[in-house]
Amino acid sequence: TRTKNAAEAHREELTRRGVLLVPVVTSGDASILPPPSEDDRRFRAAPIKSEKWIAWIDEQKGDANVAADVGVYVGLRMDGRVRSSGTGVPPWARFAAELPPTDGAWGGVLDGMDGRVGVDT
């Protein structure tokens, strides 16, 4: 919920940039997050096949020597490739400032190809 709350401060700009928050709870009770509301539709979604996401995240943490109890984020490009990743809360303000809006001159053919947000390890 800390990550979701931090994202809320930048919700409008993140939504304009096509950012969709999909929280995956890897430990504890996933029901701590209420399901996305109708108002959340363009901003937050519920993961499907959570167990597969959890297994993949655990594998990535192991490969990166990140402790199991440390929160991580993975940002994907619109074409599905990893754009950025790191520990802790995602840098929402940086994403809101650096990612291009999904409409207008930069939307469409180059979606996901801007490469402006680097990998945080």
Q: pLDDT-derived band of residue 105, with 50, 70 and 90 as boundaries? A: low
* Residues 78-99: tens digit of each pLDDT: 888 888 999 999 999 999 999 9
Alpha carbon separation from 100 to 21, 65, 113 (Å, rounded)? 17, 32, 10
What is the reported pTM?
A: 0.75
The rounded distance, in Å, linking the Cα atoms of 12 and 81 is 24
pLDDT above 90 covers a percentage of the chain that reads 50
Helix (H, G, I), strand (E, B) or coil at 41: coil
Q: What dihedral do alpha carbons 116, 60, 56, 109 form, nearest 10°?
A: 10
Residue with tokens 């790191």: 86
Residue with tokens 């993961």: 47
Residues 21/4, Cβ–Cβ less than 8 Å: yes
* Residues 32-63: tens digit of each pLDDT: 778 888 888 899 998 889 899 999 999 999 99
